[in-house]
A and B are shown apart, each in its own frame.
Chain A
C-alpha cells in the first residue's frame, strides 16, 4: 500500500515539474503580460488616460513611447490595451492597426497592411488612387458610421518607429500624424522606439504635426525592486493545481532570495543589464535545469546560468584554435604592442612568428608558409582579424592590412585556459619584446 502511495507521489512530482515549467516558460519566453506593469505605474496611467480620450471623446492624439530595448515598452502598451478592451463597448468599437518597422519596409506594403487590418479590401476593390493621402483618407472615411457623423476610433500602433522614419519622404508618418492633427476621424498614433533621438529623424513637416508627447520607460529600477521582480517572476500563483507543491516551491524561492550567492549573482547582473528581458533569459536558463530528480530551483542552477550567459564568446572561440593559429594571434598581439595598434599584414605576422621559431621554440615545428597562410585565413574567416578597408583594396593577400579583434587581456585569458599549451609559447606571449 505504502509502495503504491509513493509511486503516485512520484508521478505527481513529474507532473508538477512539468506544470511549473509550463507556467514559468510562458512568463519567461512568451512574455506573458503581468497583472500590473512593474515600475511603470505613472507611465501606465498617462497612456491609459490618453487612449481613453480617443475612445470616449473621439479626440485624436499622437504619442511616442521611448525607452531602451527590453525595458517594457510593448508590455506597457499591451497592458493598457488589455484594460481598455475590457469594456465591452470599447471592444466592439475600437479598431487596431499594428505596424512594425521591421515588417512594413516601405509605404506601399504598409498601406496594404493597413487596408487588410481594417478589413476594407472589398471596399477598396480595384480603385486607383492618385496619392497615398487620398488612399488613407478613403480608408478612414469608409469607417464612418452611416447613422451618426461620428466614426470608429482607430489605434495605429507603430513598433520600431525609427525604422518607419526611414521610408521615402516619410509619407506614411506624415499622413498618419496629419490625420491625427486635423479633426477628421478619431485616431491615436502610438509609436514605440528605442532611439532617444527619434525626433531628429523626422522631417520638419512631419515633426510639426506630431504632438510631442513622449512617454519614457527609462528604467529607474533600484536593486531592491530588481530583487522583488526576480522573486515575483519565479513565484507560482494560487491557482497552481497542486497546492502542496506550490507552497514548497514558493518557500524554496523565498529561501533562494535570501541566499548570499544568489544575491551576488543578481547584483552582478543588475550592474550590467537592468532590463527585464535579460533577467528573463537568465531565469530561463536556470529554470530549464529543474527536473524530476531535483524539483526545486537551486542556487547552483542560477550560478550555472549566470556563467553560461556571461561567458566570453571570443575567448571560447580562441579555445578551439590550433596551436599554429594561437601562435599567430600571439604574434599579432606583439605587433600591436610594438606598433601601438597600427594594422599589420600577413608578412609581418609571419616574420614575427619565424623570429620566435628561430630563437626559442622547441615544441613548434617549422611550417611551410602556405600552411601558415591557411591558418591565417582561418582566423580571417572566424573574423578574429578583420581587413582594415573591408577587403576592397587590390593588394596581394599577404599584404592586406588587418586588425586584431581581440584585446590584450582577452588573449592572455584565453592563453591561460588553453588546453596543454606548450610552456615556450606561454612565455613568448608574456615576454614584452617578441
Chain B
C-alpha cells in the first residue's frame, strides 16, 4: 500500500490510483491533497473548494483526471461557454441527472428554478456518492448574476444533497468576496512548476528521429532564453515545437553531430531571440513563422507587425498628425519658442530651468483645442494651406482611424478637443517620410 510516490486514498481501487501516478507527474502532492479532501465516495465533502494558481499549472488537468479516471459523478462547466446562467444550469443538470432533468427547466431559468429542479431530480436519484460540480474560469462568475457565486458556494445547503462545487481560477479569492461576505470556500493553491519540473515535463514529448538527450539539451537552451520572461508551460511547449526543426537543421545538413552542443547552441540562440520578438508576441502566426524558416532569404525582409507600424496617409494628414503630436506632448506655453521666428527674450537657460521633473512622454498625451492644432499645423507645414473643408475632413478621418481621439462629447462643435493617440516610434516614422525632424520640436528632448 505504501509504495512511496504512488497516490493513496482509501475508498478507491488501488490499481487505478497506481495507473494515475504517471499521468499526474509533478502534481502528486496536489492530487493527494485533493483526494484526501474529497474523502471516500460516500462521505460528505466540503461544500465548496476554490483552487487557484497560474495558467497551465495543472488545475483542470489534475481535477478532471481524478474525476474521470475514478469514475466519480461530476459536471464540468466553463464560464467562458456559459453566456447566461441558464446554460450553466442546463449543463450541470444534464451531466448529473441526465437530459430528462435538464428538460424540466423553464425558459430562462432563475436560480430558484435550478434549485427546485435539482431537488426534484435528487429525490429520484438519491446520492450514493458525492457529486461534484467543477466551474472553470470562475473569475467570470463575478460578471454574471450577483447571487450566482454566493449560491454556488453554499449549494450543498441549498439543495440539501451531497454535492461539492470546485471553482478554478487564476485570480486570488480576495477579489471574489462580495460586499456582505459569503460562505467561505476552502482555498487550495496549485504552485507553479519549478525549472527542473518544467524541464522534466517538456522533455517528455521527444522527436522520434532524435535521441531524448538531444531534445533535453534543446529544451535546456529554450528555457535559458525564455524562462526569465515566461513560465507558462503551454506557451513554452508551443515555442519548443515550433523551433525544433530549426535546431536540427545543422544535424540534417551534416554540419554538426549531436555532440557538438556549442555549435547547435550558436545556431539556435539568435533564432530563439527572434522568436521572442515575433512568435511570443503573436505578431506572426505559427504558420507564417514556419514559412519564414523554410525560405531563409526572405526572412530578413519579413518582419513582425510592429516593424510595419506605419500607415500610408495623405501629405497634409501626416503634418496634421505631427502637429497633433506636438500639441499633445508640448506644454502650450512653449509654443512661442518652437514656432515663432522672433520669440523675443525667452532665454534658453531660463526656459530650461522650468523643466518639470516628469516628462510628458511618461504621463501621456494631453488634450488640446482645435485652434492650437491648426496654428501649429500652419507653422510646420512648408507651403501655404488654405483652411478649407478638406483639412477639417482630414482631421475627422484621423479620428476615425483612431490616430486621434476626441475628448469630451461629440456635440461640442465650436471648439472640439483632441488627443494624439500614436506612439513616438510611429510619429518618428511618419515625420521621416516628410523629412521633418520632429525631435527638435519636442520639449522633452531638449
B416 within 8 A of A: no
Interface residues of chain B: helix, strand, loop or mixed (majority):
loop
Shortest beta-carbon distance from B58 to chain A in Å: 12
**A32 to chain B: closest residue by CB:** B44
Give the residues in chain A near B116, CB-CB below 8 Å.
113, 116
The answer to whether B172 touches A314, judged by C-beta atoms less than 8 angstroms apart, is yes
A79 within 8 A of B: no
Is the pair A102, B150 in contact by a Cβ cutoff of 8 Å? Answer: yes
In chain A, positions 280-315 with a C-beta closer than 8 Å to chain B are 281, 284-285, 288-289, 291-293, 308-309, 311, 313-314
Least CB separation from B150: chain A residue: A102
B194: which of A102, A103, A163, A419 is its contact (CB, 8 Å)?
A419
Nearest chain A CB to B30 CB, angstrom units:
12
Interface residues of B (CB under 8 A from A): 1-2, 8-11, 36-37, 39-40, 42-47, 52-54, 57, 110-112, 115-116, 145, 147, 150-151, 154, 156-158, 162, 170-175, 180-184, 186-189, 191-192, 194-195, 227-231, 276-277, 280-281, 283, 306, 358, 361-365, 405, 419, 421, 423
Contact A370 B115 (CB under 8 A): no
User: In whole angstroms, how far apart are the Cα atoms of A25 and B405 in the complex?
Assistant: 60
- A383 in the interface (beta carbon within 8 A): yes
Give bound CA distance, A116 to B120, whole Å. Answer: 13
Contact across chains for B10 and A14 when beta carbons are under 8 A apart: yes
Interface residues of A toward B: which range?
35 or more
Measured CB to CB, the closest approach of chain B to A94, in angstroms, equals 19
Asked if B405 and A394 make an inter-chain contact with CB atoms under 8 angstroms apart, the answer reads yes
Chain B residue with Cβ nearest A395: B364
- When C-beta atoms are compared, the residue in chain B nearest to A117 turns out to be B116
Is A320 within 8 A of B192, CB to CB?
yes
A399 to B361, CA, bound (A): 9
Docked pose: A225 CA to B34 CA in angstroms: 32
B174 with A313: CB separation less than 8 A: yes
For the complex formed, measure the closest distance between the CB of B350 and the CB atoms of chain A, giving whole angstroms: 27
* A–B pairs, 24, beta carbons within 8 Å: A14-B10, A25-B39, A30-B44, A30-B156, A103-B111, A103-B115, A105-B147, A112-B112, A113-B116, A195-B180, A284-B37, A289-B36, A313-B172, A313-B173, A319-B192, A320-B53, A322-B227, A345-B364, A347-B364, A348-B362, A368-B277, A370-B277, A371-B280, A396-B364
A277 within 8 A of B: yes
Quick one: given A29-B46, A30-B156, A69-B181, are A322 and B111 in contact (CB under 8 Å)?
no
Say yes or no for A22: interface residue by CB 8 A criterion. Answer: yes
Tell whether A100 is near chain B: CB-to-CB under 8 Å. yes
Closest to B226 in A: A322
Per the bound structure, the CA–CA distance linking A322 and B361 in Å amounts to 27
Q: How far is the CA of A79 from the CA of B10 in the complex (A)?
A: 34
Q: Closest 4 interchain pairs by CB?
A: A399-B364, A320-B192, A313-B172, A323-B228
Minimal beta-carbon separation of B70 from chain A (angstroms): 16
A residues near B, CB below 8 A? 14, 17-18, 21-22, 25-26, 28-31, 69-70, 74, 100-105, 109, 112-113, 116, 162-163, 194-195, 277-278, 281, 284-285, 288-289, 291-293, 308-309, 311, 313-314, 316-317, 319-324, 345, 347-348, 351, 364-365, 367-368, 370-371, 374-375, 381-383, 394-396, 398-399, 419-420
Which B residue sits closest to A364, measured CB to CB?
B228
Asked whether B228 lies within 8 Å of A105 as measured between CB atoms, the reply is no
Chain B residues contacting A74 (CB-CB under 8 Å) are 157
Nearest neighbor of A400 in chain B, beta-carbon distance: B364
Question: Are the C-beta atoms of B364 and A324 separated by less than 8 Å?
Answer: no
CA distance A103 to B157 in the complex (A): 12
Give the Cβ gap from A28 to chain B, nearest Cβ, in Å.
Answer: 8
- If the complex has contacts A18-B40, A367-B229, are A396 and B150 also in contact, measured as CB distance less than 8 A? no
- Return chain B residues, CB-CB under 8 Å to A195: 180
Asked whether, in the complex, the Cβ of B174 is within 8 Å of the Cβ of A18, the reply is no
Given A28-B46, A374-B281, 6 more A-B residue pairs with CB atoms under 8 Å apart are: A102-B147, A291-B36, A292-B10, A320-B192, A322-B231, A395-B365
Q: Report the separation of the CA atoms of residues A374 and B162 in the bound assembly, to the nearest whole angstrom.
A: 43
Q: Which residues on the B side are within 8 Å of A322 (C-beta)? A: 227-231
- A291 in contact with B192 (CB, 8 Å): no
Give the distance in Å from the alpha carbon of A313 to the alpha carbon of B189 in the complex.
8
| Complex CA–CA separation, A112 to B109 (angstroms) | 13
Q: How far is the CA of A340 from the CA of B186 in the complex (A)?
A: 36
**A399 vs B419: C-alpha distance in the bound complex, in angstroms?**
12
- Residues A21 and B364 in contact, CB atoms below 8 Å apart: no
How far, in whole Å, are A147 and B115 apart by their CA atoms in the complex?
Answer: 37
Cα–Cα distance between A137 and B10 once the two chains are bound (Å)? 55
Q: Is the CB of B281 within 8 A of A371?
A: yes
User: In the bound complex, what is the Cα–Cα distance between A108 and B300 (angstroms)?
Assistant: 68
- Of the listed residues B46, B151, B277, B421, the one surrounded by the most CB atoms of chain A closer than 10 A to its CB is B46
Q: Which of B44, B53, B172 contacts A25 (CB 8 A)?
A: B44
Residue from A22, A109, A370 in contact with B43 in the complex, judged by beta carbons closer than 8 Å: A22
Query: Which partner residue on chain B sits nearest A345 by CB separation?
Result: B364
In contact, A370 and B306 (Cβ under 8 angstroms)? yes
**Chain B residues with CB below 8 A from A277, complex form:** 183-184
Inter-chain CA distance A194–B355, complex, in Å, is: 56
A70 to B184 CA separation, bound complex (whole angstroms)? 9
